[in-house]
Amino acid sequence: MSKLQGKVAVVTGASKGIGAGIAEHLAAAGAAVVVNYSSSKEGADRVVANIKKQGGQAVAVQADLSNPEDVRKLFAETKKTFDKLDILVNNAGVYEFAPLEAITPEHFHKQFNLNVLGLLLATQEAAKYFGTNGGSVINISSVAATSAPATASVYSATKGAVNTITRSARSWARARFASTR
């Protein structure tokens, strides 16, 4: 029996690419998967169909992670469908490359609102749904966090923030749950 049998995972940004691959892999390992998407319902439905074709359990749920209400809806739907949550994979992200002189407030906020704020909001909400045994949060970053290509200053900054949030959250979890072990 797989270690993920009976587990429930939310994978953000799972309608294509890396997120779709993660969702399908988790399902193949036995987890029921919530395939989150922002705009590609067709892609999310395709991922769900692939998972179900292989005998897995999955559902697609639309949510813009930069919107707190959508984030609450995503986890409420997870609870309603699968009655629990064990794993959150923060994969959703956007990137737009531009040279420093072309960066606008809109360019900045589009990336930070999803890549950083969305990750924080999803993690906060997921923590409310983890059971007494806790849960796992997996944050997807990028080599761009440290390589910082010339036209990726904003994207690189968001991924640097993801790395810092991940380290900080790990320290927070150790301190918070040390007394329960």
| pLDDT value of position 175 | 74
| pLDDT value of position 132 | 82
Instruction: Provide the pLDDT confidence category of residue 144 given band limits of 50, 70 and 90.
Output: confident
Half-sphere exposure of 112 (CA within 13 A, CB side): 11
Q: Is 155 a catalytic residue?
A: yes
SS3 79: helix
Choose between 179 and 165: higher pLDDT. Answer: 165
Specify the fold of 8-180. Answer: Rossmann fold (3.40.50)
SS3 20: helix
| Token reading at 87 | 């794993």
Contacts of range 18-27, beta carbons closer than 8 Å, 24 or more positions apart: 18/91, 18/140, 19/89, 19/91, 19/92, 20/47, 22/89, 22/91, 22/140, 23/47, 23/51, 23/58, 23/89, 24/50, 24/51, 24/54, 26/87, 26/89, 27/51, 27/54, 27/56, 27/57, 27/58
Say whether pLDDT at 87 is over 80: yes
pTM: 0.93
| Token reading at 137 | 């949060």
Instruction: Provide the pLDDT confidence category of residue 63 given band limits of 50, 70 and 90.
Output: very high
- Mean pLDDT calculated for residue range 124-147: 90
Provide the 10 A C-beta neighbour count for residue 2: 10
Phi, psi of 102 (to 5 degrees): -100, 0
Provide the 10 A C-beta neighbour count for residue 83: 10
Comparing 39-43, 64-68, 146-150, 177-181, the range with the smallest average pLDDT is 177-181
| pLDDT value of position 169 | 86
Q: Are 12 and 36 in contact (CB under 8 A)?
A: yes
- Mean pLDDT calculated for residue range 21-38: 98
Q: pLDDT digit string (tens) for 98-128?
A: 999 999 999 999 999 999 999 999 999 999 9
Domain-by-domain residue ranges, the chain? 8-180
| Sheet of strand 87-90, all strands in order from the earlier edge strand to the far edge | 58-62, 32-37, 8-11, 87-90, 136-139
